[in-house]
Amino acid sequence: MAHDIIFFLAPDDETAASTRLRGPGEDFESVTCRFIEPDTAIAEWDMYFEAPSAEAPPLEQLYAWRPWPEYVTAPLNDGIEVFALPKRLTQALGKATSAELEELAGRWMTRLRTEDGDDMTDDDLLAVLQGIARLAASAANTDGCLYSWSF
């Protein structure tokens, strides 16, 4: 489980890859959260927008989901990961309604609570999704891309 996760906007993969060692910092518009698995969250969000449902998918279905988020930089033994969010997910998040984000946050919270119990993140997941949705909308307006950096 990643300790620090930052979802951020960058103009391209090369720029996003340059954040690998130091993180996005204040140079990039971002949303921060803690103690989630960003690749699993990204896959779950993508799955939700492809087939909306308030029910969390079975883990086997979630782990089999494709496309899985792609690495921008190859993973090393230091635990740092930089993922590109799928374009279709970025577009869906940017156009998401408040009701969709609320339903997705509830579903995501249920899955995390089931998997992590008391070790679940204490972040406000709806606020995290709303912030990421704002980034996604901004990505559409600036031809930017949405990324996840985690450690």
Q: Average pLDDT over the chain, rounded to whole?
A: 91
Give me 142's structure tokens: 């600036």
3-state DSSP of 61-119: HHHCCCCCCEECCCCCCCCCEEEECCHHHHHHHHHCCHHHHHHHHHHHHHHHHHHHHHH
Model confidence over 21-75: pLDDT tens digits? 999 999 999 999 999 999 999 999 999 999 888 888 888 888 898 888 999 998 8
Please indicate, yes or no, whether the overall pTM of this predicted structure exceeds 0.85.
Answer: yes
**Of residues 22, 1, 26, 21, the one with CA closest to residue 9:** 26
Grouping H, G, I as helix, E, B as strand and the rest as coil, residue 136 is helix
